Amino acid sequence: MFRLVFAFSLLVGALGDVANINEAIDQLLDSGRAVLRANGQDKIALPNLDKVIDKKIFGNAVIHGEFHANGGIFQDPTTIRRTGDVTMQTEGNKLTLTASLGMDLLAVDYGHYTFQLLAVHSEGSIHAACARNSLSAVITVVHDGNRCNAQLEHARVDDIGGFDVKMSGPGDLNKLGSLVIPWVLNQFDSLVKSTINGHLEDALRQAIKNVNLCEKIPL
């Protein structure tokens, strides 16, 4: 009977630790979202897209085309949230926390694009919504006597995919879209990852100064 009660007590204690740590990370994310909003980073400018297309036809003949897009905007890092329980790993006086994250809205817009290849011409706007995304943040908390230090190791995109790309404008682009759309998707993948990683890390590093994780997560 004693063993059963003791095991139950350990389980309740472990569940309590997870709940407390989840709450602490949620507060950190709240602060991070506030930092992003204060910096006007719910929408983030993206660099222009430029591609020159030289395609061989009829053996050695080469046709030349160009694709350009500007007015790029990425949104919305302020929709970041925790998607599962925070995992914990202890090593001596160091506690490592790994948080699984996701964004409720991840979309890319370009206000204007132009595409020209021989007689084929199209221009309009681009909207791309991402169907899936997963991110993670790793935080370490180190206790050394009465001193404690909490720091963000990294926050980054682990996976994005399923972009649904819609390009307005004349239908001519649809005739040769296979020359452009795969390249555009690859650009979105790399641009979004680098944009999120940089801005999210900066925001969480600032936020960690505002949330006393050492007090909320005793080792």
Q: Residues 52-99: pLDDT tens digits?
A: 877 766 667 677 788 899 999 999 999 999 999 999 898 888 999 999
Most confidently predicted of 18-22, 80-84, 119-123, 166-170: 80-84
Integer angstrom CA distances of residue 157 from 13, 150, 181: 32, 21, 22
Give percent above pLDDT 70 in the chain: 85
The pLDDT value recorded for residue 178 is 61
Strands 61-75 and 43-46: antiparallel
Q: Tell me the per-residue pLDDT of 96-153, one tens digit each, with 9 for 90 and over.
A: 999 999 999 999 999 999 988 777 788 889 898 988 899 999 999 998 888 889 999 9
Most confidently predicted of 3-7, 35-39, 211-215: 35-39
The pLDDT value recorded for residue 171 is 63
The structural domains of the chain, with segments of one domain joined by +, span 2-216
Strands 94-103 and 49-57: unpaired
Tell which wins on pLDDT, 105 or 161.
Answer: 105
Contact (Cβ atoms closer than 8 angstroms) between residue 103 and residue 150: no
The pLDDT value recorded for residue 16 is 46
Residue 96 burial class via C-beta count within 10 angstroms: exposed 0-12, middle 13-18, buried 19 and up:
middle
Architecture in CATH of 2-216: Super Roll (3.15)
